[in-house]
Amino acid sequence: MQEPFLPNKIGVLSDFIRSAVRDLLDRIEGMGEFDIVAELAEPVQQEVLSRVLNFDKPTRVKNRELVLNVIHANLETSKPAWAEFRAFLLGEIRRRISNPGDDFLSHLCVDEFDGQRFSESELIAILVSLALAGHHTVADLW
């Protein structure tokens, strides 16, 4: 399961990462003051993870929105934020199961590990862990 995150695989994404960073820097250049985590570090890591999962642009945008909703939820908004995020992930999982590609998420959905496939619940847990670990790794640095 570590294969998409090995240096040689991440190297394939280097042009995308550079382009994403340039686009974000261009956007914040005229701001004067900005929050480097909110405006640069956090969006980049979510973009990279979404790219590894082979999400198209609208799906990447929706994923980031839902991750932020979960992270910034309070007692009142937590349950609906998590429900919406899980439903979104379940939809992506079911799409990959019915029409797998050659990407990390498709392999998680259809490949067997120790003779068994992951259940939908296990797949959701993996994706949530990746999304939140990536966010907290960046956000907790500052």
pTM for this structure?
A: 0.80
* Between 100 and 3, the higher pLDDT residue: 100
* Between 7 and 26, the higher pLDDT residue: 26
Task: Tell me what pLDDT residue 18 has.
Answer: 82
* Between 42 and 53, the higher pLDDT residue: 53
Residue 67 to residue 129: CA distance in whole angstroms:
11
Query: Which CATH number fits the domain that encloses residue 20?
Result: 1.10.630.10
- Provide the domain count of the chain: 1
Please provide the DSSP assignment of the chain as one string: --GGGSHHHHHHTHHHHHHHHHHHHHHHHTTSS--HIIIIIHHHHHHHHHHHTT--HHHHHHHHHHHHHHHT--TTTHHHHHHHHHHHHHHHHHHHHHS--SSHHHHHHHS-BTTBPPPHHHHHHHHHHHHHHHHHHHHTT-
| Containing structural domain, residue 110 | 3-139
Q: What is the pLDDT of residues 95-135, one digit of tens each?
A: 999 999 988 899 999 988 888 999 999 999 999 998 888 66
